[in-house]
């Protein structure tokens, strides 16, 4: 079972979080939600807003714009980017 730290619990309980597109949180037009399940228990741990067609289009456009710079990075540089943006136990986000 996944144990969430208080910081993660607080983050997940913010409603609505939205979609992170192009460096910012974007709210889709609708308010329909999708459950996020703990893969070990199949219990719902939070829910997220369901993206609409415009949200998906914005995400795809942002990915296309980012691809040239991202693909120009070495494997080590990409790894550094992912590690930099990932939570660390010392951030208090992981239990």
Cα(14)–Cα(18) distance, integer angstroms:
10
Token pair in block for residue 93:
């986000």
CB 44 within 8 A of CB 36: yes
Enter the pTM of the model: 0.63
CB 8 within 8 A of CB 38: no
Strand partners of residue 33: 49
pLDDT, averaged per 10 consecutive residues of the chain (95 residues), comes to 72 75 86 87 86 92 95 93 70 51
What does residue 44 show for φ and ψ, rounded to 5 degrees?
A: -70, 130
Residue 81 is predicted with a pLDDT of 85
């Amino acid at each position: 079972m996944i144990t969430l730290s208080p910081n993660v619990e607080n983050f997940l309980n913010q409603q609505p979080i939205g979609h992170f597109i192009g460096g910012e949180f974007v709210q889709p037009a609708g308010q329909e939600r999708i459950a996020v399940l703990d893969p070990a228990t199949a219990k719902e741990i939070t829910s997220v807003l369901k993206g609409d067609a415009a949200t998906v289009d914005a995400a795809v456009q942002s990915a296309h714009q980012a691809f040239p710079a991202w693909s120009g990075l070495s494997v080590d540089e990409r790894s550094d980017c992912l590690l930099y943006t990932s939570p660390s136990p010392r951030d208090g986000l992981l239990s």
